[in-house]
Structure formats: structure tokens, C-alpha cells
Amino acid sequence: MSKIRSILYTLATILIIIGALFILQDDAFGIIFLGLGLVLNIVYRGINLDLKKVAYFHWLELLKLGNMIFMAAACLSFVFESEQKFNLLILSIVLDLLVNMKEISFKKKI
């Protein structure tokens, strides 16, 4: 199961980066790639969310849940053609990095 999680997270990250690059080049496929990457990221975060800690109101898990809801709202902003859709996407990705900084490690695990 952990291999599936790491593949899902890697695929989501790659799609977000590719989508952002396509959007910078003003290509229509960028929105599709970016949206798919965010949806996969939401699925990954949902799988890793500890619902027992959410029920006990642990602040970090509540932040992760709030970040997932914010990412879903950012994805919906594309569906509803919001004026602030790109700002919401950028903010949701930055918040995701800040909230889940513990998962990003450059050290080799032994």
C-alpha cells in the first residue's frame, strides 16, 4: 500500500508541475493536467488523513483537512470560471507545501 501511495503522490506532483508549465505557455491542456494533479493530491491526502486525530481536534490534522477542502474549492473555481482561479490554485499548492512540510524530506531514509 505504501508503494501505491508514493506512486500516487509522485504522479500528482508531476501533473501539477506539467500543468503549471503548460499554463505558462498558455496551452489549454495545462488546466487539465493541473486539475488532475490536484485531484490526485486530494485523494492522496485523504488516504493519509488520520480521522481519529481529526475527531480529537488535533490542530495539524485539522489544518490538513482544511487544506484538502481549500484544494477542492480551488479545483471547483475552474469549473465555475472564477476570476481568482489561478490565485486560488497557487495559494492551495503553497499551503499544501507548508502544511505537509514534514513529508518533504531530502534525507535518505535508512
Q: What is the 3-state secondary structure (H, E, C) of 13-60?
A: HHHHHHHHHHHHCCCCHHHHHHHHHHHHHHHHHHHHCCHHHHHCCCHH
Q: How confident is the model at residue 101 (pLDDT cuts 50, 70, 90)?
A: confident
Q: What is the pLDDT of residues 1-27, one digit of tens each?
A: 778 888 888 888 888 888 888 887 877
| C-alpha distance from residue 36 to each of 16, 29, 45, 48, 79 (Å) | 8, 11, 14, 18, 13
| Strand, helix or coil for residue 109 | coil
Q: What is the pLDDT of residues 54-85, one digit of tens each?
A: 888 888 888 888 888 998 888 888 778 888 88
Q: How confident is the model at residue 107 (pLDDT cuts 50, 70, 90)?
A: low
